[in-house]
Amino acid sequence: MSEKPRLMIPAAELRSRVQALAGEIAPTLSTSEQPLFVGVLKGCTLFMSDLVRALHEDVEIDFISISSYGDTREPSGVVKIVKDLETDIEGRDVVIVEDIVDTGLTLNFLRTTMLQRLPRSLRTVTLLDKSARRLVPVPLEFRGFDIPDVFVLGYGMDWQGKLRNLEDLFCVSDLSVLIEDPQAVSPALFGLSE
Ligand code: IMP
Ligand code: MG
């Protein structure tokens, strides 16, 4: 019998860490220039909405979508832009908002692409850092949690488009339970920490 997803970080703990992260970021933001927060779709969405609400100052937001290794755990290293920014970032203070940095290939691509557009500054905040899996060293200014090499889902992160809107973060060390029957685990996970 394969192992079911386990509760890893409950919603309340995510909330308080995101508040603390906002507290770390806020004093580093320029008071004269409006910063631009760039969310990396789609995994960033829940984290980003909580983070910008916790900042209590005026920030502009935009989104970028890239194709990554998607449905498998193996990094392809092939990353391309599926939806680009609508904002010209030249001369702007930009903060990239990521759900999780794993191999670092995605963030490395994003940073290289954005630096070519000459922002005034470029920094990254990630909710989760799977630092043990890093293949390319990449600067990471703010992080919520350092996590071990397990597959995580919920709070924006998905398994093949599923289970993104779980309010808690879950982990699976054995993906076979999701491969066999993703619907079977879903009712048990929603509302688990209520
Ligand atoms: P990287 O390029 O290997 O750093 O991968 C970064 C992207 O892969 C993240 O933004 C996620 O979209 C996805 N990813 C990596 N690990 C996980 C995971 O454990 N669960 C869900 N998505 C993941
Ligand atoms: Mg992502």
Instruction: List all residues whose CB is within 6 A of at least one atom of ligand 1.
Output: 43, 68, 75, 98-107, 151-153, 157
Give the span between the Cα atoms of 78 and 48, in whole angstroms: 25
To test ligand 1's pocket by mutation, which of 41, 69, 102 has the most ligand atoms within 8 angstroms of CB? 102
Query: 0.85 cut: is pTM over it?
Result: yes
102 tagged catalytic: yes
CA torsion 175→182→49→104, rounded to 10°?
Answer: 20
Q: How many residues does the structure list for the chain?
A: 194
DSSP 8-state symbol, 57: S
pLDDT at position 180 is 77
105 residue type, one letter: L
For strand 60-67 and strand 36-41, is the pairing parallel, antiparallel, or unpaired? Answer: parallel
Whether 40 contacts 96, CB under 8 Å: yes
pLDDT at position 182 is 66
pLDDT at position 174 is 78
pLDDT at position 79 is 81
pLDDT at position 1 is 46
pLDDT at position 74 is 61
Mapped onto helix, strand or coil, the DSSP state of residue 152 is: strand
All residue ranges of the chain with pLDDT < 50 are 1
54 residue type, one letter: A
